[in-house]
């Protein structure tokens, strides 16, 4: 599935989340951090797969072609390290849904 890695992550008011240096937080950054920060129980094989996922499909890209296995793994990781609002948005985007807040 093709995923737009430049999709902005929004706060509870529908505004783009920004980093400390005022950069907009995008989907690609959250996926990158999720796969490059191993869980304590990760073995070398899992770390190698995560590195390959990042290097081959995420690094320096604006769009990623992810397998269902990639998506399942990324969703597991984001729910483990990010606030629910961010993880939920990543989940929706990876499922092909659009996250919008009603005004």
CA distances from 79 to 30, 49, 56 (A): 11, 19, 23
Q: What is the Cα–Cα distance from 91 to 103, expressed in whole angstroms?
A: 22
pLDDT tens profile 18-31: 988 989 999 999 99
Could you tell me the two tokens for 28?
A: 């690609």
pLDDT tens profile 36-53: 988 888 899 999 999 999
The predicted pLDDT at position 42 comes to: 87
Find where tokens 């690094």 sit: 59
């Amino acid at each position: 599935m093709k995923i737009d890695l430049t999709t902005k992550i929004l706060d509870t008011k529908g505004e783009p989340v920004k980093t400390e240096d005022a950069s907009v937080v995008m989907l690609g950054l959250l996926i990158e951090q999720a796969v490059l920060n191993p869980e304590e129980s990760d073995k070398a094989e899992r770390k190698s797969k995560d590195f390959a996922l990042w290097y081959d499909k995420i690094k320096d890209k604006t769009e990623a072609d992810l397998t269902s296995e990639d998506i399942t793994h990324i969703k597991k990781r984001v729910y483990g390290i990010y606030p629910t609002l961010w993880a939920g948005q990543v989940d929706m985007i990876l499922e092909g849904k659009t996250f919008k807040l009603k005004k």
